[in-house]
Amino acid sequence: MSVPSDDPQAFEFFLSTLETHQNLLHAETQAIAAKHLETIETILVKKEESLTSVLQAKENIGFDPRTNQEANDLIDRVIELQKRNGDSLKKLVDHQSAIQKTGESTLTKPIDSRLKKAYSKSMLEPKSRLG
């Protein structure tokens, strides 16, 4: 792998933080599928922390990571996972809202509200800050 950086360790750290973020997205995918709201909330907090680490690591490498094929592919996978999870969570929230309207709620209103707030906060910027 060619690393166009004066600091290969910084680049390796960037890839590592990006892979950690990807792993959190995979965990989030599973939590959404299982409709496990507390886990989703916990992962959302960890994702915010992880994204901060990724962005800091990106600044430290000194070049556009998209110029490296490995990093570019990983960034694309992370962005796709984030988009897919956002869509899945929206469907879950919409479904749960529909159930609430019929009086057969499996979610309590405060949890529903917290999820909407937490996820919409992380989705405010539709474009990734990674690319």
Quick: pLDDT tens for 56-79.
Answer: 999 999 999 999 999 999 999 999
pLDDT, averaged across the chain: 84
Q: Tell me what the mean pLDDT of segment 2-25 comes to.
A: 88
> pLDDT tier at 81 (50, 70, 90 boundaries)?
very high
Q: What pLDDT was estimated at residue 103? A: 66
Q: Could you tell me if 17 and 57 are in contact, meaning their C-beta atoms sit under 8 angstroms apart?
A: yes
> pLDDT tier at 100 (50, 70, 90 boundaries)?
confident
Backbone angles phi, psi at 74, to 5 degrees: -65, -40
> What is the model's pTM?
0.75
Query: Quick check: 101 pLDDT over 50?
Result: yes
Residues 59-82 as b/e (b if ≥16 CB within 10 A, e otherwise) read eebebebeebeebeebbeebeebb
Q: What pLDDT was estimated at residue 121? A: 58
Q: What pLDDT was estimated at residue 2? A: 53
